[in-house]
Amino acid sequence: MKFYMTPGSCTTGIHILLEELDLPFEVYIVNLPAGDHHKPDYVAINPKSTIPTLVLDDGTALTEFQAIAWWLARSYPRRKLIPEDLIGETQVIEAMSYIVGTMHLQGFARIFATTHFAINEADTEAVQARGREIAEKGFSIMNDVLAGKDYLAGTFSIADAALFYVEFWADKLKMELPPHCLAHYRRMLERPVVQRVLREEGYR
């Protein structure tokens, strides 16, 4: 398989899942600041110009974090990356969709890609403040989900890989994580696979 990713981005979550499954894959770095995601070769693979993209052995290109994570979990059921019962699976997808769709794309995106939201330069601080507000509300919600549990579904699942990458961003931005999220983040950092992925992506 071919994995198109950007170190330190949402693709880190998929990178973790690929390594958890111990799958062979080739890595292709997409340099977002340089505009690699808009270059013809990449657009031919992913017309949405988004990351991550996972190209399967048969040439099928999978895009969108949730879709790729779900495909990995369902393709390798023995690794139990998603609950076997329907309600458990649904709740994992629910959490993952909220983390990616709201915390990331509405919250952190306002912080990291402010110009996409601020019409005028004078709006920059207000847009970033709103992004932080959305992210913090998200962590509060995830904190309640984690109460009494090590992971979002009780045991490690694809949703934890999503939560980890936004926790990682919060850490880099010096955002204070609520207690259960902080414990989850530290627990994730203790996983050998996560440590290996961060080293491979240039973090210590």
Question: What confidence category does residue 118 fall into, taking pLDDT thresholds of 50, 70 and 90?
Answer: confident
Residue 1: DSSP 8-state: -
The dihedral sign for the CA sequence 148, 149, 154, 157 = positive
Determine whether 75 is an active site residue. Answer: no
Give residue 195's pLDDT. Answer: 97
pLDDT in tens, 66-85: 999 999 999 999 999 999 99
- Residue 32 CB burial class (10 angstroms; 0-12, 13-18, ≥19): middle
How confident is the prediction for the chain on average, in pLDDT?
Answer: 97
CATH of 86-191, one of 2.70.240.10, 1.10.8.350, 1.20.1260.10, 1.20.1050.10: 1.20.1050.10
Give residue 204's pLDDT. Answer: 77
What span, in angstroms and rounded, lies between the C-alpha atoms of 22 and 148?
29
pTM beyond 0.85: the answer is: yes
**End-to-end CA, the chain:** 27
Mean pLDDT for 112-125 is: 91
The active-site residue out of 9, 49, 75, 97 is 9
- Using a pLDDT cut of 70, give the percent of the chain over it: 100
What span, in angstroms and rounded, lies between the C-alpha atoms of 57 and 55?
7
Per the structure block, which two tokens stand in for 12? Answer: 């880190």
Those residues with Cβ within 8 angstroms of residue 43's Cβ, 6 or more apart along the chain or in another chain: 37, 49
pLDDT in tens, 166-181: 999 999 999 999 999 9
| Domain positions in the chain | 2-79, 86-191
Mean pLDDT for 89-94 is: 97
Starting at the edge strand that comes first in sequence, how are the strands of the sheet with 53-55 ordered? 26-29, 2-5, 53-55, 61-63
Q: Which fold has domain 2-79?
A: Glutaredoxin (3.40.30)
